[in-house]
Structures are given as structure tokens and as C-alpha cells.
Structure 1
Amino acid sequence: AQELLEQGEIEGAQALLEVVKENTSKAEKKSQARTWALPFSVKLAELQVDEARAALDMAKLELAVVELELAKAIIAAPFDGIIADVYIDEGQQLSAMTYSSPAIYLVDPSNVEMSGEIDEIDISKVKLGQEAIITLIALPDKKVKGKVTFISPTGKVWEDEVSYKITITLGNPDEELKDGMSASAEIITNRRDNVLLIPNRAIQGSLENPWVEVVTDDETEKRQVTLGLSNGIYSEVLSGLKEGEKVVLPVT
């Protein structure tokens, strides 16, 4: 009986050994399979990441295109102001190729520009930044100061006369000045302070030899004078007259 028991134990141990060997073999095969599959799994994951990155880049590109198209569809005001007129209708489709007119008319009432023309004889005296005094027909008692901000480099010929366009920028804090008002401007091309002035009507003779009639006691005398600046109404006297002397104004 003891021998049969020992023989049974041996056979059981051998069977268990075979099971262990079989399980070990299966485990080795699975391990080997996982070892071979791992590089393929990593490669597949890398491809999926590349595809995701490509899709993201494409989405960013499409977003940029949409944002660009949206920016083109927005009409942004170049400055703060008031919409004075609208030239398009709601729902109207516009194209730069087919529509060249402005969409809106925007004005800034706090800053006004006056456009005018200067004769070719005087244009050389006008410089950027020079001060100007503006008089308006609608507001004759109001004087508005401005500055020359533009001088056209090319002249315009009209009836054999050449003129140059200029722009004067002036402030409008109380917004009394309105678009389209008629005005005239005096541009200060030079300035003299504390000088002796006489009316241009009193000046006689020629540009080379100007003279005036000066009242002395009960008579008058002809006197040569040297002139300086003139604003078209008054002229500066550099020599030939003294302050307080009276001159004759010819009757016209």
C-alpha cells in the first residue's frame, strides 16, 4: 500500500509538473506576442497623433480664413464721429469689384476741414502749419482759427488761370460749423508786431517808387516811402513816415 501511495504521489507530481510547464509555455508565448505587438501599437499611436495634429492645423487654417472673411465683412469707422448718411440697404451684397461708392458718410463735428484754392501768384507764400483766420457767411461775427494742413503739389487750370488746392483744419468745439458752409480764409504768411501801418488806398506811384501825400500844417507834401509787408488792405511802412503823421486818402 505504501508503494502504491508513493507511486500515486509521483504520478500526481508529474502531472502537476506538466501543467506548470504548459502554463509556463503559454505565458512565454503570450509574453512574446505582447513584445512583438508593442512596437506596432506604438507606431499606430504615433500615426494617430500625427493625424490629429494635421487635423488641428487644418482647423486653425479654416478658422483663419473665416476670421479674414469676417473682417472683410465688417465696416469699421476710421475715426469717432456721426453717421450723416447711409448709401447701402440692409441685406445688400457688396463687392469691391462691383461697388466703388462709399457705404456711409461719417463726419466728426469736433474737427472741421475747409477746402479752398490759392492763386499761383500767392501759393509760394503759403506753408504747412501757417495760421489762418476763417470767416463764415452764415456766422459773420465769428472768427475761427485754423492751420494749413495740405497744399496740393499740382495746380488746376481754369480759364487760363492756375490755382492750387489747400486744406485748412480748424477746431469746432461748440459744433457751430456745419458741413457745406461757405467761408473765406486769411492765411497769415508772415507777422510783424508793433509796426507802422497805412491804408493801401493812401499809397500812390509804382511798386518801385511808392509815395504818399502827407498833411503838414495847411498843405500837403509828396513823400517817398519804403514799404514792407502787406495784407492787401494795410501795408507796413519801413521809412518815410512817423507815427502820428496824417496821410491823404484819394477819393475813389
Structure 2
Amino acid sequence: EEVYVEAGDDVKAGDLIAKIKVVPNVSSLNSAFNQVQSAKIDLDNQEKLFNRQKTLFDKGVISANDFDVAQTAYKQAQQNYRAAQQNVEIIKTGTSKSTANLAQTMIRSTVTGMVLDVPVKAGNQVIESNNFNEGTTIASLADVGNMIFEGKLDESEVGKIKLNLPLEITIGAIENKKFNAVLDYIAPKGTEEDGAVQFPIKGTLNNKDNTFIRAGLSANASIILEKAEKVLAVKESLIQFDEKTKKSFVEIETGNQKFEKRTITLGVSDGIYVEIKSGISKDDKIKVWNTGAQ
């Protein structure tokens, strides 16, 4: 009947989104009217029986138990009649006097956030969801302050990750800015795409400065498997390996064209630079044995 919001509007939980006018089903309405008539006939009969039993009870002809039975049946008939009338109201308007506060004709926001989409207009027909259909979407809402990154990871990499790893999100539409996130979902089953198996993943963004991020934007995530800050690191191509000891080493300049072999302990690597935990200091000069390392 009426739509009160449009895409981009900010709403609070409980705000009115739309108002629905119920179009009664003719068959259901006729059935409801018949139930009212049947309930009225039963009520009239029970009222007559009650009045007769009351007269007999007042004269001491029948027991209190017999009178109570008649009284209970009369009250039940009254209740059935009211319920039948109420059912007619609900079918006609979607509500009744006794259920006005619970009526489903006033559609309200369930969250505080932003209206993403309003696919209907005033006058459109809508249906409620049931076991056979999803119903009509009146409005799509989201808490844009709590965004979720959705991505896919190749099967060759999924074994390296685990829940709660930090993510670094970059969004193409928002330049020169990175967002931190936490990996909180890894699909238990992959799906095949273009001959490769991909595993869906999700991460919750930590948008501390409340940057406005539109739902549906394309984004990329870097999964941080390990992290080391303010450490000594060198290019991986400068590292050599002793075939006998299987240990890593570098050659340190000790004089003019003189070098000394130093065994080192490696830490985390990003594929280009590797952390040096021990074996050399930042002032040491490393021999460039591989010209590709220059």
C-alpha cells in the first residue's frame, strides 16, 4: 500500500519500512463467514440450554455439576463466536482489534543500518514466505558498519590457513586504503570453477574510522599467515644453502674482497624478503653471489 524508504536511507531498528494492504481470498472469506454463522447457531443453542439449566438449578431440580457443565459450554460457544468473527477481520484486513499491535501489515526494520535496495513500489502485489516460495522482498537492509568480505581460495592454498588469521583487505573503489579483517569462515567443501577447486572464505572487517563501504564492491584479501615487524630482513636471493649441513648461510665481507661464511637462522618470508633471526647484524655487508639479487 505504501513504501516509506528508498535505497540509501539510514534506518534504525523499529523504523517503519512499508505498509501492506491485505487482499482477502474470496474462498477463505466465504469459509470464514460460514464459520461465523455456525458459531452463532451454536451460541444461540447453548444460550437457550444455559438459561433453561439455570432456571432448573435455581429451583433445585438439577445439581450444581449439571449447571456448571451448561455454563462452561455456553462460555465456550461465546469464545468460539468471537474467534470466528475475529478470523473474518483478519482475512479481510490482515488484523483485528485484539491483535492490532501484532499486525504484520506494518513492516518495520529489524536492524539499524542502511537501505540497500527496495525492489517493490506502492501498488505491487507481495506474498509472504512459506515452505513453497521465498516470498516477496520488500527491502534489503544491512548494517554497513559491520561489513563482511567474501572471497574464494584455491585448493592448493586452503591447507595453509586457519580461522582467526588476520586479513588485509583492499577495495578497488577506495584507493590508498587498506582494511583489517579476521578470517572467520572457511567452507568445508570446495566448488569447481574453470577446472580448479575453490573454497569460499569470509572475513569480518574492522572499519574503525567508519569509512563508507558500499555493499557489493569488489575487493581482494591478503591472508597474513605470519607477521614480523621491525626485524632484520634481507632478500631471499642472497641466501645460500650448505648441501652437507642443509643450513642457510650468507657470506659477509671482512676485508677487501675477503668474505666469511656465516650460518644464519631464518624467520618468516614473503617470497621476496626473509627475516634473519640470528647470525648477522644490520651493519654486515653480504656478498651478492647471485646477480639476480642486486
Relative to the length of structure 1, the TM-score reads: 0.64
Structure with the bigger RCO (C-alpha within 8 Å, sep 6+) is: 2
Which secondary structure state, in structure 2, belongs to the residue aligned with residue 47 of structure 1?
Answer: helix
Give the Å deviation of 1:110: 0.9
Aligned 8 A contact 1:212 1:225 in 2: yes
C-alpha distance in structure 1 between counterparts of 2:58 and 2:153, whole Å: 92
SS in 2 for 1:121: helix
- Given that 1:109 and 1:175 are in contact with CA atoms closer than 8 Å, whether structure 2 keeps it comes out as no
Q: 1:84 aligned to 2:116?
A: yes
What's 2:257 paired with? 219
Equivalent residue, structure 1, for 2:267: 228
Corresponding residue of 2:32 = none
State the partner residue of 1:129. Answer: 164
Seen in structure 2, the aligned counterparts of structure 1 residues 163 and 104 have a Cα distance that, compared at 3 Å, is: same
Q: Would you say how many aligned residue pairs link Structure 1 and Structure 2?
A: 218
Query: What residue number does 2:220 align with?
Result: 184
Aligned to 2:34: none
Identity of aligned residues (%): 28
Instruction: Using the TM superposition, give the Cα deviation of residue 112 of structure 1 relative to its aligned residue in structure 2, in angstroms.
Output: 1.1
Match of 1:39 among 61, 69, 79: 61
Aligned CA distance change for structure 1 residues 159 and 86 (closer, same or farther; 3 Å): same
Residue aligned with 1:93, SS: coil
C-alpha distance in structure 2 between counterparts of 1:250 and 1:192, whole Å: 27
Q: Tell me the distance in 2 between the aligned counterparts of 1:192 and 1:143.
A: 18
Higher alpha-carbon Rg: 1
Letter in 2 for 1:219: Q
Is the CA contact (8 Å cut-off) linking 2:56 and 2:62 kept in structure 1?
A: no
**Superposed CA RMSD:** 4.1
**Greater per-residue helix proportion:** 1
Quick one: distance in 2 between partners of 1:133 and 1:35? 85
Change over 3 Å in CA distance of 1:72–1:202 after alignment to 2? farther
The CA distance in 2 between the partners of 1:206 and 1:79, in whole Å, is 62
Correspondence 1:69-218 to 2 at 5 A: 77-91=109-123, 92-96=125-129, 97-99=132-134, 102-172=137-207, 173-192=209-228, 195-203=231-239, 212=250, 214-218=252-256
- TM-score if structure 2 supplies the norm length? 0.57
Query: CA offsets per residue over residues 130-184 of structure 1, 9 Å max, x none?
Result: 2222223333322221111211111233344333211111133423322233333
Shift of 1:220: 7.1
